[in-house]
Amino acid sequence: MKSSGNTIISFLSAVLLVSLQTVGANAQINALKANDFLNSIGVSTHITQGVDNPTNVATALTYCGFRNIRDDGSKNVATLQKFISVHNKCGAKVSLLSVNGDIAASLTEYRLLAKYGALLAAEGPNEPNNWPVTYNGKTSSSNTSMPIAEFQRDLYAAVKSDPLLANIPVFHSSESGGSQPDNCGLQFLTIPEGTNCKMPDGTVYADYANTHNYVCGTGAKVIEDNQAWNAESPTLNSHWDGLYVEYGHTWWGAGFDGYTASQLLTLPRVTTETGWVTRGKDSISEDQQGKLFLNLYDPTVGTAPVQTLTNISDIPLVLSDHPVIIEITPAISSLKDEKSDNQTLATVYTTPTDAILHVESLQLLKRIELLDLTGKSLLQLSNVSAGSTRVDLTSMPKGGYLLRLTDGFSKIENHKIIIH
C-alpha cells in the first residue's frame, strides 16, 4: 500500500492473483479453463505471524478451491514446516516472502519448501516503503532505494543459480518500483538499455511484476462502480494503486518512467494483495469489502443462460468487467455408476455433434440395454460382438437414462446417460 511513512495498517483480506495478461473491456481472447483460473488464485495468510492455524487454512482452501497462499518469510524451521503441512493436506503452494536483507536465510526457506514441492514463488521484500530493507550494512529510506535494488538483484541471481530453485519464478518486491525516491530501476523486471538508472542496464530483478492493487484514496464515502476492476487495470492512473503507478510512471515525487502502456498490457505480473480496510480510518463495511473482492472475479448474476449455441466449434466472446460462464456439453454425457466393479466391460462415449452413443468392448456382451429412470427398458441389443457398437439415441427425449451392460457371466455394469 502507498505510504510515505512507516504506518503499519492491518488488512483483513488479501489475495494472490497470478496473471500473464489483463483483459480490457471489449477485448477478444481465448477462453480460460476453469482449472487454470483456479490455479491463478490464492489468499494471503498470516501463518508466520501465528495468527492463522495451518489445519484451518488447509480446510478453507479445500472448501474454496484455491491452490495458492502467500505469507511472510521465516528463519524458523517449525514455522516453515507449517506451510509444508498445508501443502500436504490440500496441495496448495506458497509464494513466500524473502527474509529481510538475508539472502542465505531466504535460500534456506525456499529450498526447504521446494524440496517438498510446496514452493510457488520466491518473493522480494514486502512494501519496503513501509518496512525498510537493510542489506550490506545500508538501510533503504525516503532518500534512497539502493539497498532494496541490490537485495532484489542478488536474490534473483541466487535463486536462479540454485539447481533446486532455478525453475521457481521470482516475484518482484511489492511497491518498491512506485515508491523509489531515486531511480534505481525498480520499475522494471530487467533494466533496459539507455534508461539512465542508478543500477546498470541489464540488471535483472524478477520474472513477474508484483502489485498491491488497493482501492485507495476513497474510503467508505465513495465506492465507484467497477472500482476493483479499475484497480487491476494495467494502464489506468488514478487514486487506486495499480500496475501503472508501479511500473509505468512511478508515484513517488515527480516519478520515473517505466514501461509504456502497450508494454504494460502484456507484462507478466501478479497481484499479491488487494482490497481495503474494514476497520479504522477510511474503512469500508464487510459487505462493501465482499463486493470489491467479488468484482475482482465478478461471478455472474442469475442462472438462466443468455445464449444457447449448438453444433459449433468455436465461440467468439466480447468481455467486459463481468464474467462469462460457458458450459460446454456433448450431445450426450456418460457417467459410470460408482457402485459398479472397477473392471470395465466397455468404454462408453459420445461425440459432441450428434446423439450417437459409442460402446467400445473387448469382449462379447450378452446384452446392451437402455432404461429410463423408472427401470423401463427402452432399447435392447443382444449378443453384441467385441469392438465398437453404435447406439442411436436421436429419437430419445432429453433427460437421464441408464445404460446397462451384461457379459456372458452375469456381470452387470451401469452407465448413467444424460441427453442434453
Looking at the structure, do residues 293 and 337 belong to the same domain, yes or no?
no
Q: Quick one: DSSP state of residue 147? A: H
CB atoms within 10 A of CB 342: 5
Looking at the structure, do residues 96 and 173 belong to the same domain, yes or no?
yes
Read off the C-alpha cell for 415: 452407465
Average model confidence (pLDDT) across the chain: 82
Looking at the structure, do residues 107 and 202 belong to the same domain, yes or no?
yes
The pLDDT > 90 percentage for the chain reads 44
Looking at the structure, do residues 176 and 288 belong to the same domain, yes or no?
yes
Quick one: which H or E segment has residue 417? strand 412-419
Q: Which residue has the higher pLDDT, 38 or 158?
A: 158
Strands, E assignment, 147-261 = 170-171, 209-214
pLDDT digits (tens, 9 = 90+) for 393-402: 888 887 788 8
Helix, strand, coil shares of the chain as percentages rounded to 5?
Answer: 25, 25, 55
Count of domains for the chain: 2
The pTM of this model reads: 0.69
Mean pLDDT of 61-74: 90
pLDDT digits (tens, 9 = 90+) for 188-245: 999 999 999 999 999 999 999 999 988 765 544 556 666 767 777 888 887 778 899 9
CB atoms within 10 A of CB 147: 22
At residue 223, the pLDDT reads: 63
Q: Domain with 382 in it: what CATH number?
A: 2.60.40.3080
Mean pLDDT of 126-151: 97
Q: Which residues of 249-277 are buried (b: 16+ CB within 10 A; e: fewer)?
A: bbbbeeebebbeeeebbebbbbbbbbbbb
Looking at the structure, do residues 279 and 336 belong to the same domain, yes or no?
no
At residue 192, the pLDDT reads: 97
Looking at the structure, do residues 169 and 20 belong to the same domain, yes or no?
yes
**Distance between CA atoms of residues 83 and 92, nearest Å:** 9
Let me know if residue 8 belongs to a domain. Answer: no
**Where in the sequence is the domain holding 345, given as residue range(s)?**
332-419
Let me know if residue 93 belongs to a domain. Answer: yes
Quick one: which H or E segment has residue 288? helix 286-297
Looking at the structure, do residues 290 and 355 belong to the same domain, yes or no?
no
pLDDT digits (tens, 9 = 90+) for 242-284: 899 999 999 999 999 999 999 999 999 999 988 777 777 777 7
pLDDT digits (tens, 9 = 90+) for 40-66: 888 999 999 999 999 999 999 888 888
**Distance between CA atoms of residues 162 and 190, nearest Å:** 20
Looking at the structure, do residues 245 and 353 belong to the same domain, yes or no?
no
pLDDT digits (tens, 9 = 90+) for 326-366: 776 655 555 554 444 445 788 887 765 567 888 888 788 88
Looking at the structure, do residues 147 and 82 belong to the same domain, yes or no?
yes
Mean pLDDT of 78-89: 96
**pLDDT reading at 11 higher than 50:** no
At residue 341, the pLDDT reads: 45
At residue 337, the pLDDT reads: 47
The pLDDT > 70 percentage for the chain reads 79
